[in-house]
Amino acid sequence: MREEEELLIHCLYFTANRFARNMTKLTEKTFDFDELSPSYLYMMMIVKYNPGISQKELCHTLSIAPSTSTRFIDKLEKLKLATRRMEGKQSFITLTEKGEDVYTEFRLSLKELFKNYSEILGREFSLDLSKTLHEASNKIEKKI
C-alpha cells in the first residue's frame, strides 16, 4: 500500500467525509422528494415527534446553526409543509397536514434506505456503525 493511501485510510476526517458523501449519494437515490433534500426530511421528523418544538431546540437536536434552520423552515413554510408560530423572539414549528403526509412517505423511504445500505454493509454492521458514529459524534461535540 502506498504511503498516501495509508494516511487517508487512517485519517478519520477524510474517511468520515468520504463515507458521508457516499451515504448522501445512496440516500438521494433512495429518496424521491422533488425539492427536498434529505436534511429537510430529517428536520421534519424531529418536528413530527416534537410538535411545537422551538427553533432553538431544533438547532440543538440536529446540530445545525440558527441561520441554517431559518433557511430550512422558510422553505418548509413556502412548500406548506410546516408552520412557524412566534412568541416573543422564539419561534415554534409544527407540521401541516401536507407535511404529515410527506413525513409518512419519508418513513417508508427510511426503511428502503436501511434495506439498501444493509444489503451492502450487512444488517448488524450497519446498526453497529450507526451507533458507533452517533457515540463518537456526541463525544466530539462535548469537547468542541
Which residues, in sequence order, are CB contacts of 94 under 8 Å at separation 6+? Answer: 47, 51, 52, 82, 83, 85
Closest to 58 (Cα-Cα) out of 39, 36, 81, 80 = 39
Contact in structure between 109 and 26 (CB atoms under 8 Å): no
Contact in structure between 39 and 72 (CB atoms under 8 Å): yes
Where in the chain are the domains? 3-143
Single pTM value for the model: 0.82
Q: Which residues of 68-103 are buried (b: 16+ CB within 10 A; e: fewer)?
A: ebeebbebbeebebbbeeeeeeebbbbbeeebeebb
Question: Which residues are bridge partners to 85 per DSSP?
Answer: 92
Distance, CA of 53 to CA of 143 (rounded, Å): 26
Distance, CA of 64 to CA of 72 (rounded, Å): 11
For the domain spanning 3-143, the CATH number is 1.10.10.10
| pLDDT tens, per residue, the chain with 144 residues | 788 888 888 999 999 999 999 999 999 888 888 788 889 999 999 999 999 999 999 999 998 999 999 999 999 999 999 999 999 999 999 999 999 999 999 999 999 999 999 999 999 999 999 999 999 999 998 998
